A and B are shown apart, each in its own frame.
Chain A
Amino acid sequence: MAEAVSWQAREGHLLCLRTRSRSWLDGVAPGLSSLQTSRFLRAGPALWMRLGPDEWWCWTSAGAACAARVRQSAGAQFHALLDISDAQQAFEIQGAVRDVLSQGCELDFERLPPDFAGRSRCAAFTVVICPQLGGTYLWVEASLARSLTQWLDQASRLRG
């Protein structure tokens, strides 16, 4: 019998940090300044994902503290820090995730580095995907969240 697939919406704070000067980032989370694009690192309750050359997302249960830490570390360094918790809906998917996502996502899950977190496309959705957090985490624009669950529902019926 095929492995079951399930998904759940997850709540948390999501911050978007933009900056070009990275030297101060280690003050936010050790190793953050050298984090490669499409990789993540954990720092306490925060999951930092580098999504572009000057873009980081922080998924955390302590948004205000994290934002304060960023502001403190940045000092006078130019940066932009926005709370986008309401802009994105997080999902945690458990089970035969690859089987389901392979119907819409072109990522090579077998060869992804263990600390992968990056933007991709899943069917008609632009998503941020982080497959190695116990379950697979996936962020999608909040307005598309219900459509994505419909797609997941359909894809899980067709798998195998």
Chain B
Amino acid sequence: MSGWRLPQGGRLINRDRALSFRFEGRPLQGFEGDTLASALLARGTAVVARSFKYHRPRGLVAAGWEDPCAFVEMQSPRAEPSVLATVEPLVEGLQARGQHAWPSLRFDFMALADRCSALLPAGFYYKAFKSPAWAWPWFERALRHAAGLGRLPDGAGQSDPSAYERRFVQTDVLVVGAGVAGLWAAHALAQAGARVILADDAPEPGGRGLDRPAGGVVDAWIAQTVASLDAMPHVRRWPSTQVVSRYDHGLCLAIDRSRPGHERLWRIRAPQVLLATGQIERPLLFAHNDRPGIMLAGAVTSYLHRWGVAAGRRMVLATNNDMAWTAAFEAHQVGIEVLAVADLRPQVHPQLTERAGALGLRVELGARVVAAQGRWALRSAVLQLASGQRLSVQADLLAVSGGWTGALALHAQRGGRSHYDATLHGMVPENDDAQVIGAARGAPGTPAALASAVRGAQQVASALGLRLPDLPVPAVPSEPSGFSATDLQHIGKGRVFVDWASDVTLDDLRLAHREGYESPEHLKRYTALGMGPDQGRISALHGAVLMAQLRGLSPGDLGPTRLRPPYTPMPMGAIAGADPGALIRPVRRTPMTDWHEAQGAVMYESGQNWRRPGYYPRPGEGLMQALERECRACREAVAVYDSSPLGKFEIWGPQAVELLEYLYTCRVSDLLPGRGRYAVMLREDGRVFDDGTVFRLSDQRWWITTTSAQAQAVHAALEAALQVHFKGRLEAFVTPVTDQWATLVVCGPRARELLQACDCSVGLSRGDFPFMAVREATLAGLPVRLFRVSFTGELSYEIHLPARQALALWVQLIDKGQILGLTAIGSEANHVLRVEKGFISVGHEVDGCVNPLDLGLAWAVRMDKADFVGKRSLERDLQAPAGRPALVGLLVERGEVPLEEGAQILKVDLDMDPRSALAAEQASAGFVTASVWSPSLQRAVALGLLEDGADRQGQTVWVTVTAPSGLARRPARVVPPVFVDPQGGRMRG
């Protein structure tokens, strides 16, 4: 192909603005409005990429999204593989290279695959490389190197200079496609009063009209209609915007590429959608039909009229339909030498032959292309004439057209049905679906397309309760539009490519047929037909028709596989939109988060993404030193902890108790106002779901706490119980108050002194305020709700107060506590302290597989209650307790480092031969759930879940440990899980 820029013409380009770019390192120039493909073609570039499998040189086939070959790797302004040159707007400084070539497009090492193609038929990788087995890793490396679509940008973490955003929009009607049918329908519906979005992937409206010479009757009508649409405030006209996906409930996704370097994803809600998506041209099947210089006839006219580019100098047209003849006529008019027009049909519309005769074109009816020659650029096309003679024509451009298929992807994505039309030799939507209009419906010619637009618009207007105005339809003369079928007969010798993107040949289809992969779905998986980045836009129907012929079926008996969203590739950045980084999952802050950060705390995100302090290192301290100091403060003096993320709910109502009895394993009805209890929730399968506390504030008011992570799930469970289990009949309401109430925990033997120092308004003695009690009080003059609960095993008060007042109290506590040795502690210290005390934690000991009995919480389960969630499943566990895991403590020798959390406890005895133990008995008997260095005990301690652990107290078990040499193990002694204050005197004190 030796393309060239015409001295004039090109609807989409601005010849006053030249742009410099580089392809394969070569400096080139194009114009504003060019695509990379049109600019390359204008500079005579014949080969733009190599093919995926055989690495054959490939040129431009089409002018839009249907091109199966023109994939390039963008190097600047952004690094991105698999960019389609035919739709990539040219920008100043653009740099790109051809894809699937190494080290260069011209000298590609992997082109050897083409020489060995006989050894690489469809599915060869299922049959080869099976032996010798030892060589598989080598084969795999080689295959992985060869596979893949393009290379990812060099340099991990390289930022993408493109801007992305995502937006929602609502409309009454979405019209996809701004050809004459789409424009007419959009205009009519807008006139009727509907809100209309008109989206088209081209930068200018007109559809296929853009591929015709400017200045025609239709152009004037388009300009007038567009001006009218643009004047209506309830119409959004979106050029360069492609609707890529269509889902239920009127949801469509569209990518707006109207601004280079800025991609916007529209999420459109449209109760009515009209698809004026046009048609896609199919190629012809003949030997070596993938040579550079072979281009769809419609693309030849697209390049001529959209970008003012002639795709070659000496052209042959090969077709089976009337519409493609236009390419020959218009090419001739701009100075391309048209050497022959070969039509498969023995007879065509007389208008065509008359016009060809008038232009002096050689016409061969009943003729077909049987071969193409030229590896880097087309040299000649070999025609088989009706007489049987062969004619070799020296040409650098072979325009081909095998007919047209409706672009029905969006129709299919919503479950729209299509069938093969024997007259049009293409897929058309079912008759009852008038929402597909224009050429996409199979309407032959502009008048028929406009007629279908009228019907579609009327149906939409009716659905919206609108009355369509009487709008004139532009008078467009009809043109010849006959077709003939593609067939397998008389095809010459050589490889015939059916799917150019995946390098699937006719022989591959025959092989698939012989091996029984006959359905379109199997054919697709076996040969990769339709699997390439073009998703088989120009090949899928060919594949289905050819397989039908191989099976002796009629063409319509097999349709192409279902087209799924998205229609064209979507950048991941556009999907993420404007929510990068932390805003994808927003961080929650407590009233004290600023304070923690100001103190230099190491912050974690945990639970429902709460930003909370892990620990507060002082100068020179690392994690372990800070932990030791914080834990000692809690055990020996007093500590304060920001526990605001704790899930909190108020439950009101005379029947709230019934709800709580149903959801918790413990009894709550016997709680008096002012008292509370530790409580466990189960799932239906009897496994622990969450734990927390339940307090009775007054006769009909309850306060429950949950873990931070499960707060939303517990809320859902509470509402589900109310609305589903109790069918909305309980007089009880649940209100989440996690954000309303901040939670400050004061813990340690001097906690009581600190509260007294802060002028606590209620008595704090054990008698006045016992363990698991709640009091309404004031502290430092602020109203608070005081709870006596403990997660550290120490004397502890949970102070709940309205969030806006929390920081003031926190600062007071810190201030007043200095004299008592107060230290703020983080979640790391909290974790150590609770492990020392043997308290469970959701996510560690509660792993979704344990029941409360496994965790030693039988005391928190009242099996004598009539019912509670999970009771039935728990009864089943009780009947077969053997083999259940049990919570145990694990001790390693003094001076040894802690066990690893998650390490497996092996199912072997200590006295077994270590080698046979590791080899034969690597089955797990449990795992380490939490492991810490205990400042209180000055040794490493751990909690674990161990099969039949209750019966294994005092035994030594082997625990795995990661080591440079692989799996290693170390001994640990099974002990009770409470390491500090087993009697609980401290927290009850």
Interface residues of A (CB under 8 A from B): 16, 18, 20, 54, 78, 80, 82-88, 102-108, 110-111, 123-125, 141-148, 150-151, 154-155, 158
17 contacts across the A-B interface (CB closer than 8 A): A18-B652, A18-B735, A80-B735, A82-B650, A82-B737, A83-B802, A84-B740, A85-B804, A87-B803, A124-B579, A124-B586, A143-B589, A143-B738, A147-B582, A147-B588, A147-B589, A150-B582
Q: How far is the CB of A6 from chain B (nearest CB, A)?
A: 18
CB atoms of A150 and B269 under 8 A apart: no
Q: How far is the CB of A142 from chain B (nearest CB, A)?
A: 5
- Take A103-B577, A143-B610 as given contacts and tell me if A123 and B583 are in contact as well, using a CB distance cutoff of 8 Å: yes
Q: How far is the CB of A24 from chain B (nearest CB, A)?
A: 15
Q: How far is the CB of A61 from chain B (nearest CB, A)?
A: 16
How far apart are the CA atoms of A78 and B170 in the complex, in Å? 41
How far apart are the CA atoms of A86 and B736 in the complex, in Å? 12
Contact for A78 among B585, B587, B653, CB less than 8 A: B653
Q: How far is the CB of B602 from chain A (nearest CB, A)?
A: 20
Enumerate chain A residues within 8 angstroms of B644, measured Cβ to Cβ.
Answer: 143
Closest residue on chain B to residue A122 by CB atoms: B168
**Looking at B584, B590, B737, which has the most chain A CB atoms within 10 Å of its CB?**
B737
* B578 in contact (CB, < 8 A): yes
Interface residues of B in 262-299 (CB under 8 A from A): 267, 269
Bitwise, B548-577 to A at CB < 8 A (1) or not (0) is 000000000000000000000000000001
How far apart are the CA atoms of A108 and B610 in the complex, in Å? 32
- Take A110-B195, A144-B588, A148-B586 as given contacts and tell me if A82 and B578 are in contact as well, using a CB distance cutoff of 8 Å: no
Given A18-B733, A54-B733, A142-B803: 7 more A-B contacts, CB < 8 Å: A102-B167, A103-B168, A104-B168, A143-B610, A146-B587, A151-B578, A158-B578
Bitwise, B795-810 to A at CB < 8 A (1) or not (0) is 0000000111000000
CB atoms of A158 and B269 under 8 A apart: no
* B731 in contact (CB, < 8 A): yes
How far apart are the CA atoms of A123 and B644 in the complex, in Å? 24
* B636 in contact (CB, < 8 A): no
Interface residues of B in 97-153 (CB under 8 A from A): none
How far apart are the CA atoms of A14 and B658 in the complex, in Å? 29
CB atoms of A80 and B586 under 8 A apart: no
How far apart are the CA atoms of A108 and B586 in the complex, in Å? 24
CB atoms of A16 and B735 under 8 A apart: yes
Enumerate chain B residues within 8 angstroms of A80, measured Cβ to Cβ.
Answer: 650, 652-653, 733, 735
Q: How far is the CB of B815 from chain A (nearest CB, A)?
A: 23
- Take A84-B735, A88-B739 as given contacts and tell me if A106 and B168 are in contact as well, using a CB distance cutoff of 8 Å: yes
Enumerate chain A residues within 8 angstroms of B740, measured Cβ to Cβ.
Answer: 82-87
Enumerate chain A residues within 8 angstroms of B724, measured Cβ to Cβ.
Answer: none
* B374 in contact (CB, < 8 A): no
How far apart are the CA atoms of A77 and B478 in the complex, in Å? 76
How far apart are the CA atoms of A107 and B584 in the complex, in Å? 20
Enumerate chain B residues within 8 angstroms of A105, measured Cβ to Cβ.
Answer: 168
* B654 in contact (CB, < 8 A): yes
CB atoms of B163 and A147 under 8 A apart: no
- Take A82-B737, A87-B803 as given contacts and tell me if A151 and B267 are in contact as well, using a CB distance cutoff of 8 Å: no
CB atoms of B735 and A143 under 8 A apart: no
Q: How far is the CB of A103 from chain B (nearest CB, A)?
A: 5
* B169 in contact (CB, < 8 A): yes
Enumerate chain A residues within 8 angstroms of B586, measured Cβ to Cβ.
Answer: 123-125, 144, 147-148, 150-151
How far apart are the CA atoms of A107 and B578 in the complex, in Å? 18
Enumerate chain A residues within 8 angstroms of B524, measured Cβ to Cβ.
Answer: none
With an 8 Å Cβ cutoff, the count of chain B residues facing the other chain is 40
CB atoms of B739 and A143 under 8 A apart: yes
How far apart are the CA atoms of A85 and B527 in the complex, in Å? 63
How far apart are the CA atoms of A82 and B584 in the complex, in Å? 31
CB atoms of A78 and B167 under 8 A apart: no
Q: How far is the CB of B799 from chain A (nearest CB, A)?
A: 15
How far apart are the CA atoms of A143 and B645 in the complex, in Å? 9
CB atoms of B583 and A154 under 8 A apart: yes
Enumerate chain A residues within 8 angstroms of B168, measured Cβ to Cβ.
Answer: 102-107
* B166 in contact (CB, < 8 A): yes
CB atoms of A147 and B653 under 8 A apart: no
CB atoms of A123 and B579 under 8 A apart: yes
Bitwise, B186-211 to A at CB < 8 A (1) or not (0) is 00000000010000000000000000
How far apart are the CA atoms of A105 and B267 in the complex, in Å? 10
Closest residue on chain B to residue A148 by CB atoms: B586
Interface residues of B in 386-420 (CB under 8 A from A): none
Q: How far is the CB of B484 from chain A (nearest CB, A)?
A: 49
* B92 in contact (CB, < 8 A): no
* B165 in contact (CB, < 8 A): yes
Interface residues of B in 570-619 (CB under 8 A from A): 577-579, 582-590, 610
Contact for A103 among B165, B582, B650, B804, CB less than 8 A: B165
Enumerate chain B residues within 8 angstroms of A141, measured Cβ to Cβ.
Answer: 588, 739
Enumerate chain A residues within 8 angstroms of B167, measured Cβ to Cβ.
Answer: 102-103
Closest residue on chain A to residue B801 by CB atoms: A86
Interface residues of B in 726-742 (CB under 8 A from A): 731, 733, 735-741
- Take A78-B654, A124-B584 as given contacts and tell me if A106 and B578 are in contact as well, using a CB distance cutoff of 8 Å: no
How far apart are the CA atoms of A148 and B586 in the complex, in Å? 8
Enumerate chain A residues within 8 angstroms of B737, measured Cβ to Cβ.
Answer: 82, 84, 87
How far apart are the CA atoms of A124 and B583 in the complex, in Å? 8
CB atoms of A82 and B269 under 8 A apart: no
Enumerate chain A residues within 8 angstroms of B610, measured Cβ to Cβ.
Answer: 143
Enumerate chain A residues within 8 angstroms of B736, measured Cβ to Cβ.
Answer: 87
Contact for A150 among B583, B585, B803, CB less than 8 A: B583
**Looking at B167, B589, B590, which has the most chain A CB atoms within 10 Å of its CB?**
B167
Enumerate chain B residues within 8 angstroms of A124, measured Cβ to Cβ.
Answer: 579, 583-586
Closest residue on chain B to residue A143 by CB atoms: B588
How far apart are the CA atoms of A144 and B608 in the complex, in Å? 11
How far apart are the CA atoms of A147 and B583 in the complex, in Å? 7
Enumerate chain B residues within 8 angstroms of A78, measured Cβ to Cβ.
Answer: 653-654, 731
**Looking at A104, A110, A143, which has the most chain B CB atoms within 10 Å of its CB?**
A143
How far apart are the CA atoms of A108 and B234 in the complex, in Å? 13
**Looking at B577, B584, B589, B739, which has the most chain A CB atoms within 10 Å of its CB?**
B739
How far apart are the CA atoms of A110 and B169 in the complex, in Å? 10
CB atoms of A158 and B735 under 8 A apart: no
**Looking at A110, A142, A154, which has the most chain B CB atoms within 10 Å of its CB?**
A142
How far apart are the CA atoms of A54 and B167 in the complex, in Å? 32
Q: How far is the CB of A53 from chain B (nearest CB, A)?
A: 9
Enumerate chain B residues within 8 angstroms of A155, measured Cβ to Cβ.
Answer: 578
Closest residue on chain A to residue B645 by CB atoms: A143
**Looking at B585, B733, B741, which has the most chain A CB atoms within 10 Å of its CB?**
B733
Q: Which 7 pairs from chain A and chain B are nearest by CB?
A: A147-B586, A87-B740, A108-B170, A80-B652, A143-B588, A18-B733, A86-B803
Enumerate chain A residues within 8 angstroms of B267, measured Cβ to Cβ.
Answer: 106
Enumerate chain A residues within 8 angstroms of B582, measured Cβ to Cβ.
Answer: 147, 150
How far apart are the CA atoms of A80 and B163 in the complex, in Å? 48
Q: How far is the CB of B267 from chain A (nearest CB, A)?
A: 7
CB atoms of B583 and A142 under 8 A apart: no
Enumerate chain B residues within 8 angstroms of A146, measured Cβ to Cβ.
Answer: 587, 589
Closest residue on chain A to residue B590 by CB atoms: A143
- Take A87-B740, A147-B587 as given contacts and tell me if A103 and B653 are in contact as well, using a CB distance cutoff of 8 Å: no
